[in-house]
Amino acid sequence: MKDLSVIGGGSWGTALAIVLAPRFERVRLWVYEQDLAERMRTTRRNDVYLPDSTLPANIEVSSDVHASALGAEVVLGVMPSHHARPIYTQLLPVLQPDMLFVSATKGLENGSLDRVSEVMREVIGVQFTPRVGVLSGPTFAKEVARGEPAAIVIASHDAELARAIQHAFSGPTLRLYTNNDPVGVEIGASLKNVIAIAAGVCAGLGLGANTMAALITRGLAEITRLAIAAGGEARTLSGLAGLGDLVLTCNGELSRNRTVGFQLGQGRTLDEILGGMRMVAEGVQTTYAAMDLAARLGVELPITRQMYAILREGKSPREGLRDLMDRSLKEE
């Protein structure tokens, strides 16, 4: 493969373009903000989302979404989940059946409750049946862009696509594993952000390692329940896209979702926190979608339920923690 299109110029999209640039002759990076795209072409840096990393020479930056994808062999989507449907709809005129589509977006679509790969199939499917895979795992954009070793998963029901992307994307600092359970991977990728907000709340309240260990363990349990109910496999959630990503996001200070939770635990309101952020914390909207999906599938998500009450209903973090601990006693 020679031609890669990366749709989404936030921190993760930029980091993926940087780490994958040596693997392709041509990498096109679509950036929504025209002024940012112009600066990136001049300075070779994303001064808003990833200011410390330099773009390799073969990365072409554009704010023209059609030009960014036209003729690409691989289209890698890295937009926020709530932008996925309109962006793929906008891309339709230049998409072709021989393209491979990979989603690196972590989140659920509010309203439909679709996973992003489902959104892609629905939108692109009006023209042809797309070949789709999902990319996820324990990664912070800044560390990937610096060339620190990382391991992620490419999941698809299309084994040939998964192997092709594995070989195309893997290199000295990025190792890909294949997986045939995109449902489990996408649910894990989405719900870990909700648990990460809860982890931040605990840290903001000054709670220690015992609390964090319990939160991560029980958080993984409820993510797994939802994934299985949605058609995923339990084993997926014990791997990189489940436990691996959950541990990283709950403990790493680079996590935007953990940061939101930390500030909530410190007493700030959600509006204050989000008003001061340029980057998207997917876990906030995912919390709302996850509660709707849990209701649809008949799954209990006690941690997510308390996060919903804190984020949407204004419940105090300490009250949410108390109610979580006071629930009726159960078997593990």
Catalytic positions, please? 192
Q: How many angstroms separate the CA atoms of 250 and 226, rounded?
A: 19
Residue 306 contacts residue 285 (beta carbons within 8 Å):
no
Closest-CA residue to 238 (of 222, 220, 255):
220
Q: How many angstroms separate the CA atoms of 226 and 233, rounded?
A: 10
Q: How many angstroms separate the CA atoms of 327 and 120, rounded?
A: 39
Sequence-separated (6 or more) residues with CB below 8 Å from residue 262: 200, 201, 203, 204
